[in-house]
Amino acid sequence: MPRRRITQTDVAAMAGVSQATVSFVLNGSTPAGVRISEETRQRVLDAIRITGYTANPAAQRLAGGGLAQILGVFTYEATFPRASRDFYGPFLVGIEHAAERLGVDLLLFTSAPVQDGRRRLTREGWQRLGVADGCLLLGQHEHRGELQHLLDTNYPFVFIGKRGSDGGRLPYVGADYVGGTVRQIDRLVALGHRRIGYVGMRGTDQPTLDRVDGYRSAMKAQGLTTRFVELDDVAATAAEIVDQRFTAVVVAPENHPEELADELERRGRRVPDDVSVLLLGQPHHPRRGGRPWSGFSVPREEMGARALYLLSRLVADDSPKRDRETGRTAAAADVELHQILVCPDVEGGTAAPPRDSRPETDNRTDPA
Amino acid sequence: MPRRRITQTDVAAMAGVSQATVSFVLNGSTPAGVRISEETRQRVLDAIRITGYTANPAAQRLAGGGLAQILGVFTYEATFPRASRDFYGPFLVGIEHAAERLGVDLLLFTSAPVQDGRRRLTREGWQRLGVADGCLLLGQHEHRGELQHLLDTNYPFVFIGKRGSDGGRLPYVGADYVGGTVRQIDRLVALGHRRIGYVGMRGTDQPTLDRVDGYRSAMKAQGLTTRFVELDDVAATAAEIVDQRFTAVVVAPENHPEELADELERRGRRVPDDVSVLLLGQPHHPRRGGRPWSGFSVPREEMGARALYLLSRLVADDSPKRDRETGRTAAAADVELHQILVCPDVEGGTAAPPRDSRPETDNRTDPA
DNA sequence: ACCTGCTAATAATGCGCATCATCCGATTGA
DNA sequence: TCAATCGGATGATGCGCATTATTAGCAGGT
């Protein structure tokens, strides 16, 4: 027989006080003019210790009080399947770590139905969200309307990945793709490269926009001409790189860098001897015996962790309840809603000085 | 302003009925002598549709009624860090899949404090469990006392991995290590091997016990002598294998098969030409360019999925509420509490006939 | 007219907790 | 000596829902 759980009333009985008193002791008492003597406090605490009482989260929640100590994680794609795992994995490591430190549980919204390969937040979904105190959102295929709704309902959430919409009310933890890309260009220039191409699908996702942005501004700052290769086909792309006599290219991981390099070598251009290839992020599908890429890496673990910490702050600020250790009713405003993390350089083996170091055919004034 | 959520009372008002009626309609009405006319029913359903009402899980829970549609996942080690990820990953794929199909959310108990590298269920932990309708347990370092407590409190849970304690009341989904191991021995014998050793640390965990069990019985059935190598050191183990002139060994994945094979080759014994090595499960830490192992594989994804389905059944049976689609108040007893899944053979490249095929020095009567 | 039997629905209650309004006794102030 | 104050704690209430007990209305039956 699953004997009934210990309730505050039980504790109260044991301590010879009222249920309300127990509640006050547990919550640090503060309400209106309520005071509990140290003696009573101790008696209650003892009773709690003896009975092993712990609050029923459902009841707490219903009573509008305490947090459930549950933070949600909503991924726009299935989380664990092989392909996604490489992508989500690192984020989750960070998230889990942070969750452990924060002492919260993680709720994965696997119930949200998947439509066209992406998860949606249906009506029921919204209700489900309520079980968690707040929610982390991650994935590439977010739905604007849903985000807006989240914002409107004032539900605490944090997006993992920079998101520009809504003039900045949307909290996120992103990576500095712009800065990272700029640094790659600068590195290449320092090595002596001048003809530096950008390989990437036209994409409207934020990372792509940022990378292109970084490339553009860095090239401009160096007085070099920007050149994009935008072919769908890897072989064609490689051909174009050869044709254009690029001595280096930067490429986003989703554009099959490994295959591209293979194609280049098939055409007699060795990497990095003839062409340097810098990767703007980690490889998506690490291949056995793949190349040791140079470029930068996105600090995914840290992003995950930081995002959860941020969320935790938002939740706390949002909640009527204050931290009773410090006692301060902290001004909620001092949380940095937008965090951009540095993408550290990776020293691999795919960058080298151009073969014909510094040919005097200067490209600086090359017409587009 | 986060406008108040729609409640049953709101719906009731709109439909011109009482809150109770709404509740009845939602739950299929059945209780005691309560009847709702089809007309009213429709009015209520319409109101629900219009308002977009969905139940507040906390309230449902408090009222002792409905399920939260949340299933917990408790791992005895941190889930996502690199080392664990390879292990837990496949289980989680299956679990997530099942969760999606079942339309439930997954609650990861990351709040449980880690002591000596393994998570424990503290007092608070027990309470937290209550948020989920039931819970999956996985990991190698389970705590007997905790399991017993779970059993005692009648909380629905399923262990992933065979667990023998408690005379069978403990529900689990395991893998058939015994059968898998037996088949490996049989395969080796069929190839012509006679001197087949077992490499494995003495371990008291169930998989190890089962593998040893399988090895013992298969060897006995074949009339061969069992021989164990139980050294801590990989090099020493390799030496022993050479000394004993084994033509084949079976080895559990936790015993560094890759390093062992390296050591063997360092001693001039090629795998599989001189020594066949069969792996009793997947490699723990897949290495780049690692060997293509022969042996069997543990169907981890399927285990995860099956475990969640089983849990879901247990929860449903345990719950007072019955499935109102089928209407049947199914006899709870027909759930198979113990599921053992077949471990399919893997055809890799580490098994071959013994070099000196069928030497007439028969080992069958070899004294131990 | 009065009781029975039945349908259709409602009122009331409680789950465990947080919180507001209240209350009691002991000081203190004048 | 009586009112004002304050420390110390309690009772009542409601969150949103499931469920039990109860009622209202009405068609026979005698």
- Separation in Å, CA B293 to CA A106, B87, B260, B261, B277: 36, 17, 13, 11, 8
Please say if the pLDDT value at position A366 is more than 70: no
Higher pLDDT, B57 or A22: A22
Please say if the pLDDT value at position A265 is more than 90: yes
Q: Do B130 and A57 touch (CB under 8 A)?
A: yes
Nearest of B191, B189, B241 to residue B219 by alpha carbon: B189
Contacts of B80 in chain A (CB under 8 A): 89, 92-93, 95-96
pLDDT tens sequence across B135-150: 999 988 888 888 888 8
Residue A290 confidence (pLDDT): 82
Residue A321 confidence (pLDDT): 47
pTM metric for this prediction: 0.84
Of A78, A95, A108, the CB nearest to B105: A108
Confidence class for position B365, pLDDT limits 50, 70, 90: very low
Residue A61 confidence (pLDDT): 86
| Number of other CB atoms surrounding residue A222 within 10 Å | 18
Please give the helix or strand (H or E) that residue B242 lies within, else none. helix B234-243
Residue B329 confidence (pLDDT): 41
Higher pLDDT, A337 or A220: A220
CA angle A290, A296, A297 (to 5 degrees): 75
The token pair at A120 is: 């949606």
What's the CA gap between B146 and B159, in Å, rounded? Answer: 12
Q: Region B237-242: what's the mean pLDDT?
A: 94
Please say if the pLDDT value at position A244 is more than 80: yes
Q: Region A85-92: what's the mean pLDDT?
A: 81
Nearest of B319, B305, B314 to residue B335 by alpha carbon: B314
Please say if the pLDDT value at position B330 is more than 60: no
DSSP annotation string for B98-155: HHHHHT-EEEE-TTSPEETTEE---HHHHHHHTTSSEEEEE-S---HHHHHHHHHHT-
pLDDT tens sequence across A161-186: 988 766 678 899 999 999 999 999 99
What's the CA gap between B226 and A90, in Å, rounded? Answer: 44
Q: Is B338 helix (H, G, I), strand (E, B) or coil?
A: strand
Q: Do B109 and A105 touch (CB under 8 A)?
A: yes
Confidence class for position A47, pLDDT limits 50, 70, 90: very high
**Chain B contact probe: residue of A111, A123, A319 with most B CBs at under 10 A:** A111
SS (H, E, C) chain A: CCCCCCCHHHHHHHHCCCHHHHHHHHHCCCCCCCCCCHHHHHHHHHHHHHHCCCCCHHHHHHCCCCCCCEEEEEECCCCCCHHHHHHHHHHHHHHHHHHHHHCCEEEECCCCCEECCEECCCHHHHHHHCCCCEEEEECCCCCHHHHHHHHHHCCCEEEECCCCCHHHCCCEEEECHHHHHHHHHHHHHHHCCCCEEEECCCCCCHHHHHHHHHHHHHHHHHCCCCEEECCCCHHHHHHHHHHCCCCEEEECHHHCHHHHHHHHHHCCCCCCCCCEEEEECCCCCCCCCCCCCEEECCCHHHHHHHHHHHHHHHHHHHCCCCCCCCCCCCCHHHCCCEEEECCCEECCCCCCCCCCCCCCCCCCCCCC
Higher pLDDT, B285 or B224: B224
Q: Do B85 and A89 touch (CB under 8 A)?
A: yes
Residue B349 confidence (pLDDT): 92
Q: Do A111 and B103 touch (CB under 8 A)?
A: yes
pLDDT tens sequence across A210-234: 999 999 999 999 999 999 998 888 9
Q: Is B92 helix (H, G, I), strand (E, B) or coil?
A: helix
In single-letter form, the type of residue at position B201 comes to M
Higher pLDDT, A159 or A80: A159
The lowest-confidence range among A231-245, A317-331, A336-350, B26-40 is A317-331
Residue B65 confidence (pLDDT): 65
pLDDT tens sequence across B178-201: 999 999 999 999 999 999 999 987
Q: Which span out of B23-27, B266-270, B360-364 was modeled with the highest average pLDDT? A: B266-270
Give yes or no for CB of B35 within 7 Å of strand D.
no
Please say if the pLDDT value at position A147 is more than 50: yes
Q: What average pLDDT is seen over chain A?
A: 85
The lowest-confidence range among A117-126, B200-209, B241-250 is A117-126
